[in-house]
Structure 1
Amino acid sequence: MKTRTLGTSGPVVSALGLGAMGMSDAYGPTDRAESIATVHAALDAGVTLIDTGDFYAMGHNELLLAEALRGRDRDGYRLSVKFGMLRGPGPGFGGHDGRPEAVKNFLAYSLTRLGTDHIDVYRPARLDPDVPIEETVGAIKEMIDAGYVRHLGLSEVDAATVRRAHAVHPVADLQIEYSLISRAVEDDVLPTLRELGIGMTAYGVLGRGLISGHWSTDRGTAGDGRAAMMPRFSGENVAHNLTLVEALRGVADAKGCTVAQLAIAWVAAQGEDIVPLVGARTRKRLDEALPAVDVALTADDLAEIEKAVPRGAARGDRYPSAFMANLGAGN
């Protein structure tokens, strides 16, 4: 497995990371045994970056990972953990909490659930509009100084917030959605990260399955949890977006890879400072994603991909309108 470094201050990690959210939350029924087997397969293949959130099924995901990672060398993997999203017992979200005392409280629970003495990259999942980012980051810095956290990360914040956070403590990476159909980060966020020496972990590289090559109009979104709420999957939007996938399939066929592998490889090709996260819930999907790190895209390949899926060609926002205001970049 190839490796990349998260910015100038972050850890060395595998060139492809595993996003664990779907194993517990959001996208329909899961199989616990298969989830654990998938984590094991990822580690055995050299994947060292595993991403989770303390609010993924309210701690279920962290407990699942603790079980999957039990007995593994703690120095053999890096845990990225998001915190601060508030939830109730139902499916809804209740805002954000970035208060310093909450940061330490969330961290204590995560350390216990994960069965570890430190988190490698700790990050607020979203910006708390009522708490200055300097205060949230300051609390994480205290936890870094105390040895409970190794590196500071951010998630879904804009360029100005990145600068403010980085002034308090060096930011290792920003986690943000980036794919062929979600490219707003290219305007301000990505240039700022590169100016400051901050890496990026890119989630949603397959557009929640939309550009994986496996989605179809007759599949629908029943049973796929959060995808049912995403505007890109609704009505005429999904039909249009799938025409882009078919154009991409032609490029993938010529390259001798799958659509999913091409989409992942495209993200990785945007810079050595970017690590794609794949939300594989099964070994089958993981096995398809892993070869993407070896798909080398030439300038001609990139031009063909751009022709097949031009920036801005996708229809529909990446989140429902109520969530869009809290994102660090638009579509």
Structure 2
Amino acid sequence: MRSRAFGRTGHTVGEIGFGAWAIGAAWGTVDDGESVAALHAALDAGLDFIDTADVYGDGHSERLIARVLKERGGKRPFVATKAGRRLPRQEVAGYTAQNLQEWIDRSRRNLEVETLDLLQLHCPPTDAYYHPELFEHLERLVERGAIARYGVSVERVEEALKAIEYPNVASVQIIFNMFRLRPAQLFFAEAQRRGVAVIARVPLASGMLSGKFRPDTRFEESDHRNFNRNGEAFDVGETFSGVPYEVGLAAVEKLRPLVPEGATLAQLALRWILMHEAVSVVIPGAKNPQQALANIAAADLPALSDEAMGEVARIYEQDIKPYVHQRW
């Protein structure tokens, strides 16, 4: 797999990573055996970047990752995690030095490491980015050796732009896919100028861009595509990228003709993201080895033509932009 610079950190990572939300919780029934097999298959194929969070299955995702890495031994992949969503209410007042230390210590235990490779604030309130003391808390954690570096996971482009004003923010994780084009405007240029790594999350719009859903598709009660369809549990932009379900289905049909022979729509969607050089790594999820390997194979697709890139932009402008562009 091709590698890309992870911002100014001095690290390089494979351009396709492993998003470990689905092996934790909130994506319907998950089989730990299949999850472990998916991680092993991905790592065997050369993947070297895993993204998780302390709230994915209340730490279950982190612990599964630790189990797999212990089984494998040898050189460890880069493992990023997140903290902040354990708060009962998302308020800046909850991001205290003590809380951050406790959350991070818990993740260190779950992942069985002394120092976390990357700790990301997990979509904190917008106001958090205007509190320098919060980032000073993270600086102290770097000094203590609890974390090697820190970044942010954001909902909105405006949050990303504010976050990278802090000189030691190493990375920004943001929703970027064929239904969410806005980050590729000002933010990507600024991230490159400042040497900030970009982690593209929700690359398949919660599976919408796999092309496998229909109007009558039903999701399990424990799947956020059921219980967060209207933002009941967390930001609605995390579910189908905030695009109304029927609108997304119609746009997918317009994208299908762009799929190269022998590829899938999901692979096209991942390859489209990799066409943007500001992206350091894209993190699709996988619940089994087949999905994990199909994700990685997307990196081998030929570069998309100017015509294909233009058609994606046209479909976005016509069908998707009114629902998402200014909101996120």
* Change in CA separation of 1:329 and 1:39 when aligned onto 2, cut-off 3 Å: farther
SS for the counterpart of 2:52 is: strand
* 1:186 matched residue in structure 2: 184
* 1:301 matched residue in structure 2: 308
Does the Cα contact within 8 Å between 2:157 and 2:183 map onto a contact in 1? Answer: no
Deviations 1:145-187 (A, max 9, x none): 2222222211106566556654554222100111111123234
Equivalence map 1:192-207=2 (5 Å)? 192-207=190-205
Which one of the candidate residues 120, 133, 136 is aligned to 2:134? Answer: 136
Does the Cα contact within 8 Å between 1:180 and 1:311 map onto a contact in 2? Answer: no
Equivalence map 1:236-315=2 (5 Å)? 237-252=244-259, 254-295=260-301, 296-307=303-314, 309-311=315-317, 313-314=319-320
Deviations 1:258-280 (A, max 9, x none): 10000011111122533211011
Does the Cα contact within 8 Å between 1:98 and 1:124 map onto a contact in 2? Answer: no
Which one of the candidate residues 204, 212, 215 is aligned to 2:213? Answer: 215
TM-score, normalised on structure 2? Answer: 0.86
Equivalence map 1:69-108=2 (5 Å)? 69-73=69-73, 75-86=75-86, 94-96=89-91, 97-108=94-105
SS for the counterpart of 1:174 is: strand
Deviation, structure 1 residue 71: 3.6
* Change in CA separation of 1:44 and 1:55 when aligned onto 2, cut-off 3 Å: same
* 2:229 matched residue in structure 1: 230
Aligned AA (1:206):
L
* 1:170 matched residue in structure 2: 168
Deviation, structure 1 residue 52: 0.6
* Change in CA separation of 1:2 and 1:162 when aligned onto 2, cut-off 3 Å: same
Structure 1 moving runs of 4+ over 6 Å: none
1:53 to 2:48 alignment? no
Does the Cα contact within 8 Å between 2:273 and 2:279 map onto a contact in 1? Answer: no
Deviations 1:31-88 (A, max 9, x none): 000001101111111111101110112111111211122143464301111101126x
SS for the counterpart of 2:89 is: strand
- Distance of 1:329 and 1:120 partners within structure 2: 33
SS for the counterpart of 2:283 is: strand
Which stretch shows the higher mean deviation, 6-15 or 55-64? 6-15
Q: Gapped runs of 5+ residues in structure 1?
A: 88-92, 319-327
Does the Cα contact within 8 Å between 2:105 and 2:146 map onto a contact in 1? Answer: no
Does the Cα contact within 8 Å between 1:18 and 1:278 map onto a contact in 2? Answer: yes
- Distance of 1:8 and 1:329 partners within structure 2: 30
Q: What do you get for the CA RMSD once the two structures are aligned?
A: 2.7
Number of residue pairs the alignment of both structures matches:
313
Does the Cα contact within 8 Å between 1:118 and 1:147 map onto a contact in 2? Answer: yes
* 1:124 matched residue in structure 2: 121
Aligned AA (1:301):
A
Deviations 1:202-250 (A, max 9, x none): 11110000111111222133446111222576xx942332122122111
* 2:63 matched residue in structure 1: 63
- Distance of 2:74 and 2:148 partners within structure 1: 13
| % identical equivalent positions | 24
Does the Cα contact within 8 Å between 1:14 and 1:49 map onto a contact in 2? Answer: yes
Which structure dedicates a bigger proportion of its chain to strand? 1
- Distance of 1:187 and 1:164 partners within structure 2: 15
SS for the counterpart of 1:94 is: coil
Q: Gapped runs of 5+ residues in structure 2?
A: 231-238
- Distance of 1:303 and 1:165 partners within structure 2: 30
* Change in CA separation of 1:80 and 1:330 when aligned onto 2, cut-off 3 Å: farther
